[in-house]
Amino acid sequence: MDGFTRPPKRRALEQKTPARTTLNRVEPRQPKQPPVTTEPFGELPTPKLTSIKSRFSLPKPHGKLQWGLFAAACLVLLSGASYAVYAIFWPEPEPIALIEPTPTPEPEPAPEPTTIASRMSGREIDKNTAIKPIYAVQIENSPEARPQSGLREADIISEAIAEGGITRFNALFHDNIPQNVGPIRSLRPYYIDWFLPYNAPIVHAGGSAEALSDIRTLRIQDMDNTAGYFRRVNNRYAPHNLYSTGPQLLELFTARGYKNADPIPSLPRKVATPAETPTASVINLKISSTLYNVVFTYDKTSNSYLRNQGGSAHVDAESGQQLAPNVVIVPILTKGIHPNRVNTQYGTVGSGEVFVFQDGIVTKGTWTKSSRSSQWQLTDTNGAVIALNPGQTWFSILDKAASVTYQ
Over the stretch 199-224, which tens digit does the pLDDT of each residue have? 999 999 999 999 999 999 999 999 99
Can you give the three-state secondary structure of 295-323, one letter per residue? EEEEECCCCEEEEEECCEECECCCCCCEC
Q: Which of 273, 269, 229 has its CA nearest to residue 252?
A: 229
d(CA 347, CA 75): 107
Q: What is the pLDDT of residue 159?
A: 98
Q: Where are the beta strands (DSSP E) in 164-210?
A: 166-173, 202-204
Confidence at residue 16, expressed as pLDDT on a 0 to 100 scale: 47
Residues 126-132, mean pLDDT to the nearest whole number: 90
Q: Where are the strands (E) in 53-152, listed by range?
A: 115-117, 124-126, 135-140
Please give the C-alpha separations between residue 377 and each of 37, 38, 122, 200, 261, in angstroms, as whole numbers: 143, 143, 16, 19, 21
Q: Phi and psi dihedrals of 332, rounded to 5?
A: -100, 115
- Non-local (6+) Cβ contacts of 388 within 8 A are 122, 267, 268, 269, 270, 327, 329, 356, 358, 378
The proportion of the chain whose per-residue pLDDT surpasses 90, expressed as a percent, equals 65
pLDDT the model gives residue 60: 60
Q: Is 130 exposed, middle or buried (0-12, 13-18, 19+ CB in 10 A)?
A: middle
Q: Is the pLDDT of residue 270 over 80?
A: yes
In angstroms, the CA 267 to CA 393 distance is 10
**CA dist 142 → 49, 146, 381 (Å):** 147, 7, 36
Reported confidence tier of residue 282, pLDDT bands at 50, 70, 90: very high
Mean pLDDT of 144-157: 97
269 pLDDT above the threshold of 60: yes
Say how many CA atoms lie within 13 Å of 1 toward its Cβ: 3
Work out the average pLDDT over 291-311.
97
Apex 358 CA angle, 357 and 361, nearest 5: 70
Least confident of 99-108, 144-153, 208-217: 99-108
Which domains does the chain possess? Answer: 115-255 (3.50.90.10), 282-406 (3.50.90.10)
What pLDDT does residue 1 have? Answer: 44
CB 379 within 8 A of CB 267: no
For residue 189, is pLDDT > 80? yes
Q: What is the pTM of this model?
A: 0.73
pLDDT band at 113 (very low <50, low <70, confident <90, very high): confident
